[in-house]
Amino acid sequence: MTANTSVGQQFACPSCGRPASAPASIHRTSEGSVRYSRCECGRWLVTLAGRVVGAAGR
């Protein structure tokens, strides 16, 4: 089952729960595309290959 492969899905900020805005920066790696999206609360959401892998800033 590979139904969850849609591109452009939104990610919720782990800090405030708001949906992240469009990625400000995208880097391609061997593991997939790493995207950095800035949240309204000031955090940076880091997503890799469609999964949230971390958050930076505050």
Q: Who's near 24: CB < 8 A, 6+ residues apart? A: 36, 37, 38
Site string for Zn ion, 15-54 (x = CB under 5 A): xx----------------------x-x-x-----------
Contact assessment for residue 25 and residue 32, using Cβ atoms and an 8 Å cutoff: no
Other C-beta atoms closer than 10 Å to the C-beta of 43 total 19
What minimum distance in Å lies between the beta carbon of 40 and Zn ion?
6
Give the nearer residue to Zn ion in terms of CB position, either 26 or 56: 56
Residues at the interface with Zn ion (CB under 5 A): 13, 15-16, 39, 41, 43
